[in-house]
Homo-oligomer: A and B are copies of this chain.
């Protein structure tokens, strides 16, 4: 391939760690630091594109391993780059399994998402347009997100772990507070909605027994006068029997129930018993899962995550498939910073029809890696950045600080089970807990 100003000259991979509160989920508790990888793709023309993906040692090593193959490729030809990535990991490019955890453990889609977003950022900068324009056009300037509630232990994570900052007020206070009781989770919901103006709420469950979590969800429903669209997600740790039992209780009260049970078959069986909207980011998680999903109608709403579906363009393709086959579309989230947020906002801005507020962990992180600090969430919405490309840039001092966090914290991959075992040595990940 002839070298041009659009050829990749270098790729810089920086693992970082950002403070993350002790949020609870079906596999355990978040460690004090969430890991991310920041990618910088630099062209011969001197333009840098950036992206952010979930951090773990294997992904970082895989990117570094493939890097020599990528040097010289044209950032305007993302499908060529995809082909190169896929051919370097032939065993993983198609049949790779996402694993049983709430987060996706595939390598290839992560790498491609990292590269694709950085390429789109460069294209936008070269073309003086926004990434949303490259995804079909900018349909809106405000992209709505949902409040994302978590059961949690006290503390805000980071270097102070479970300690509290007693001077904190408002959301900063609620972000650190313990929330395991009904009143605790309602306080969290109220504080989060007051701070960010969210117009819908999701509760991450799967940690406590169903009766308690369902009671809490209904209490949130009541606390907001039954008018706030509400989602609840036990992350597939319920048996089919448990799922059917509690889904019936939720009927008419949820915007949707997310992954109550594990696998498309169980989702479809639950749906046959209880007519309630079901969403997923665990049962249908790749293009190869879609035929099965449609055949048995296991879900009504597919929650994409551009880090897991292979990028922003793939996410738009998933959207088109959802619209073609009568499914709703929204986006899933793990702990993330402003670069991933920008990617989600560009998708949200480009969707011809916006179905459901996107999930985001964003308020749970109290610092960022982008210039100007965290993107504002106001009235539940993030405003599409105006700059070319993604419209966000790396704050070098923050990058260095968060990379030092990574080196200091000693974590190399997400392991909520090990973190939970520090508190409860008998804790184990199980496929079906209840």
A interface with B by C-beta (< 8 Å): 74, 76-80, 82-83, 126-127, 129, 133, 136-139, 287-288, 290-291, 294, 313, 317, 320-321, 323-326, 350, 352
Across the interface, which residues of B come within 8 angstroms of A325, CB to CB?
290-291
Among B80, B127, B133, B321, which residue has its beta carbon within 8 angstroms of that of A139? B80
The minimal Cβ–Cβ distance linking A216 to chain B, given in whole angstroms, is 38
The minimal Cβ–Cβ distance linking A288 to chain B, given in whole angstroms, is 8
Task: Judge whether A80 and B326 touch: CB under 8 Å.
Answer: no
Across the interface, which residues of B come within 8 angstroms of A294, CB to CB?
291, 294
Q: Determine the residue in chain B with the shortest Cβ distance to A352.
A: B79
List 14 contacting pairs A-B, 8 Å CB cutoff, sorted by A.
Answer: A76-B129, A77-B133, A77-B137, A78-B136, A79-B136, A79-B350, A82-B352, A126-B127, A287-B323, A291-B326, A294-B294, A317-B317, A320-B320, A321-B321
> A133 and B76 in contact (CB under 8 A), knowing A317-B320, A320-B320, A352-B83?
yes
Across the interface, which residues of B come within 8 angstroms of A78, CB to CB?
136-137
> A77 and B321 in contact (CB under 8 A), knowing A83-B352, A294-B294, A326-B291?
no
Q: Determine the residue in chain B with the shortest Cβ distance to A76.
A: B133
Complex: A139 Cα to B291 Cα, angstroms: 26
Complex: A126 Cα to B137 Cα, angstroms: 16
Across the interface, which residues of B come within 8 angstroms of A126, CB to CB?
127
Copy number in the complex reads 2
Closest 4 CB pairs of A and B: A79-B137, A77-B137, A317-B320, A287-B324
The minimal Cβ–Cβ distance linking A94 to chain B, given in whole angstroms, is 11
> A290 and B77 in contact (CB under 8 A), knowing A313-B136, A352-B83?
no
Across the interface, which residues of B come within 8 angstroms of A287, CB to CB?
320, 323-324
Complex: A350 Cα to B83 Cα, angstroms: 13
The minimal Cβ–Cβ distance linking A136 to chain B, given in whole angstroms, is 5
Q: Determine the residue in chain B with the shortest Cβ distance to A80.
A: B137
Q: Determine the residue in chain B with the shortest Cβ distance to A133.
A: B76
Task: Judge whether A137 and B321 touch: CB under 8 Å.
Answer: no
Q: Determine the residue in chain B with the shortest Cβ distance to A77.
A: B137
Task: Judge whether A324 and B290 touch: CB under 8 Å.
Answer: yes
The minimal Cβ–Cβ distance linking A62 to chain B, given in whole angstroms, is 21
Q: Determine the residue in chain B with the shortest Cβ distance to A294.
A: B294
Task: Judge whether A76 and B137 touch: CB under 8 Å.
Answer: yes
The minimal Cβ–Cβ distance linking A87 to chain B, given in whole angstroms, is 12
Q: Determine the residue in chain B with the shortest Cβ distance to A288.
A: B324
Q: Determine the residue in chain B with the shortest Cβ distance to A136.
A: B79
Complex: A77 Cα to B141 Cα, angstroms: 13
Complex: A78 Cα to B135 Cα, angstroms: 10
The minimal Cβ–Cβ distance linking A123 to chain B, given in whole angstroms, is 9
- Other A-B pairs, 13, CB within 8 Å; known A80-B137, A287-B323, A291-B325: A76-B133, A76-B137, A77-B137, A78-B136, A79-B139, A83-B139, A83-B352, A126-B127, A287-B324, A290-B324, A290-B325, A291-B294, A320-B321
Highest count of chain B CB atoms <10 Å: which of A82, A138, A324: A324
Across the interface, which residues of B come within 8 angstroms of A290, CB to CB?
324-325
Complex: A376 Cα to B279 Cα, angstroms: 51
Complex: A82 Cα to B136 Cα, angstroms: 10
The minimal Cβ–Cβ distance linking A127 to chain B, given in whole angstroms, is 5
Q: Determine the residue in chain B with the shortest Cβ distance to A86.
A: B352
The minimal Cβ–Cβ distance linking A65 to chain B, given in whole angstroms, is 23
Complex: A231 Cα to B299 Cα, angstroms: 38
The minimal Cβ–Cβ distance linking A134 to chain B, given in whole angstroms, is 8
Across the interface, which residues of B come within 8 angstroms of A323, CB to CB?
287
The minimal Cβ–Cβ distance linking A351 to chain B, given in whole angstroms, is 9
Complex: A77 Cα to B349 Cα, angstroms: 12
The minimal Cβ–Cβ distance linking A141 to chain B, given in whole angstroms, is 13
The minimal Cβ–Cβ distance linking A306 to chain B, given in whole angstroms, is 15
Across the interface, which residues of B come within 8 angstroms of A79, CB to CB?
136-137, 139, 350, 352
